Amino acid sequence: MKKLENIKRVLIANRGEIAIRAIRAIRELGGESIAVYSEADKDSMHVRLADYSVCIGKAPSDKSYLNIPSILSAIEISYADAVYPGYGFLAENPHFAAILEKSNIKFIGPKSETTRLTGDKAAARKAAQEAGVPIIPGSPPVENLKEALEIADIIGYPVLLKAAAGGGGRGMRVVHSPQELTRLLPCSPEGSRNQLRRQQGLHRKIYNQS
């Protein structure tokens, strides 16, 4: 089995089953695993299985697993060579990945510029087009109802109204007619507003549903 190259210790910036799977994989590859945990997770399985463990804060995620300074401190005191974020938490945070890159700590995941690009669906769509990747019919971000109605008429109903940033389906609306689009467009971002703090505006996109 292939072994880890130029990596001795991997800090897992996650918890639960995600961390457990990572710990087992790291061990099979001949590396050492470092678990991080909140005060509420001190007796969790991933903490017991890891070679080393570091407490990173109180139970709320923003005080622990989303607390970048705490994660960086754990990296420093544990002499980690690399960080595996799993998914969720800081896995899609380009700022976190960029800090690690500048610190010569390997981030086991996409480069920061890739995460930054794909975090904005309008930019990701444009990049895919420029790379020659087939994409479904749709539009760039639209800023007003008149433009949205014109584009939807060209694409054909039903269309999918989607905020440019965010994920998990928040802010998505299936629209079947111009009347419905007129009613839904002004409020389509509301489902995303509180959840998606990284949004730099409430751009809308219209996609063909079929």
More confident residue, 180 or 79: 79
Buried b (16+ CB within 10 A) or exposed e, 71-90: bbebbeebebbbbbbbeebb
More confident residue, 4 or 194: 4
Mean pLDDT of 19-43: 97
More confident residue, 184 or 180: 180
Fold of the 120-208 domain: Dna Ligase; domain 1 (3.30.1490)
Backbone φ and ψ for 80, nearest 5 degrees, come out as -70, 140
Contact 98, 112 (CB under 8 A): yes
The predicted structure's pLDDT at residue 103: 95
CA distance 25 to 32: 10
The predicted structure's pLDDT at residue 192: 40
The reported pTM is 0.75
In the chain, where are the structural domains located? 9-116, 120-208
CA distance 199 to 80: 32
The predicted structure's pLDDT at residue 187: 57
Give the DSSP letter of residue 4. P
104-113, 128-137, 168-177: lowest mean pLDDT where?
Answer: 168-177
Contact 11, 83 (CB under 8 A): yes
For residue 9, list its beta bridge partners. 32
The structure tokens listed for 126 are: 């444009």
pLDDT in tens, 121-132: 778 888 898 999
Report whether pLDDT(153) > 50. Answer: yes
More confident residue, 192 or 9: 9
Q: E strands within the chain?
A: 9-12, 32-38, 52-57, 82-84, 106-107, 159-163, 173-175, 204-208
Looking at domain 9-116, its CATH class is alpha beta
CA distances from 149 to 67, 145, 171 (A): 42, 6, 18
pLDDT in tens, 36-91: 999 999 999 999 999 999 999 999 999 999 999 999 999 999 999 999 999 999 99
Report whether pLDDT(190) > 50. Answer: no
